[in-house]
């Protein structure tokens, strides 16, 4: 069910990004992990475009950011049923694979054309996302790790969160737990402590570790009273009984 939810919400990830990352609630975050990852990065792009030279340090970065916006829109393009004619003014793809492959080429082009820019780091992250979408988990893992090692802490934390999700989805539970614990110990604006806690608790719950999940939800409830995170933790605790 978690994978189906993520797949459905990827379709409107770009439009959701404009809402504002800082105000996203914890329950929305834990239910839609991949969407919040994409939305966080795109929000950074939009904020950067708004403040101009304050965020982008060079004309190269500004040009790269425009290309990145196009590539993200490609990743978010709607699918049409096979046999349905394409509308000239309304681009679509007939399969998720074709869409991911098209976006993959665009992200790689940004990395090649604008190396050493902040936008290239974001494109590198998205490249890994498309690789995961295409089932190339080894390449996705490698590129997520590269982003973690060289990008600024905000982008790196989002990549670390995505890598943890990849590990969780491929039954590498111990590796995922280790990354979530790192995110909890060193939270960022992009990935807060409670976000990492909720995702770790969800991982415990999904991997049949109810005692660990219960302990984590109880801690979230204690640390976040009268908040949506605390309410979600209460609901999840009720499910464990």
CATH number of the CATH domain containing 162: 1.25.40.10
Task: Give residue-wise pLDDT tens across range 14-32.
Answer: 333 322 332 333 333 334 4
Rounded to whole angstroms, the Cα distance separating 33 from 171 reads 17
Q: How many domains does the chain have?
A: 1
Positive or negative, the Cα torsion across 112, 116, 119, 122? positive
For residue 51, the model assigns a pLDDT of 45
For residue 38, the model assigns a pLDDT of 54
pTM assigned to the model: 0.76
Range of the domain at 34: 2-240
pLDDT category at 5 given cuts 50, 70, 90 is very low
For residue 104, the model assigns a pLDDT of 95
Task: Give residue-wise pLDDT tens across range 106-118.
Answer: 999 999 999 888 8
Residue 79 three-state SS: strand
Q: What is the DSSP string of 180-200?
A: HHHHHHS--SSS-HHHHHHHH
Task: Give residue-wise pLDDT tens across range 69-112.
Answer: 899 889 888 898 877 887 777 788 889 999 999 999 999 999 99
């Amino acid at each position: 069910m978690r994978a189906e939810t993520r797949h459905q919400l990827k379709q409107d990830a770009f439009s959701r990004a404009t809402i504002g990352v800082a105000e996203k609630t914890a329950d929305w975050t834990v239910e839609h992990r991949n969407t919040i990852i994409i939305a966080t990065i795109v929000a950074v792009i939009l904020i950067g475009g708004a403040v101009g030279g304050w965020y982008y340090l060079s004309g190269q970065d500004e040009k790269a950011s425009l290309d990145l916006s196009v590539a993200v829109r490609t990743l978010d393009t709607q699918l049409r049923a096979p046999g349905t004619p394409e509308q000239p003014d309304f681009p679509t793809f007939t399969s998720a694979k074709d869409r991911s492959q098209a976006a993959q080429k665009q992200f790689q082009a940004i990395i090649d054309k604008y190396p050493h820019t902040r936008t290239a780091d974001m494109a590198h992250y998205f490249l890994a996302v498309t690789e995961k979408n295409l089932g190339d988990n080894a390449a996705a893992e490698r590129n997520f790790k590269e982003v973690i090692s060289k990008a600024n802490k905000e982008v790196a934390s989002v990549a670390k969160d995505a890598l943890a999700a990849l590990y969780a989805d491929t039954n590498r539970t111990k590796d995922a737990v280790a990354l979530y614990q790192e995110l909890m110990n060193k939270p960022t604006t992009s990935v807060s402590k409670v976000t990492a806690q909720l995702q770790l608790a969800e991982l415990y719950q999904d991997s049949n570790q109810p005692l660990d999940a219960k302990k984590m939800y109880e801690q979230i409830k204690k640390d976040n009273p009268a908040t949506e995170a605390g309410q979600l933790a209460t609901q999840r605790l009720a499910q464990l009984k």
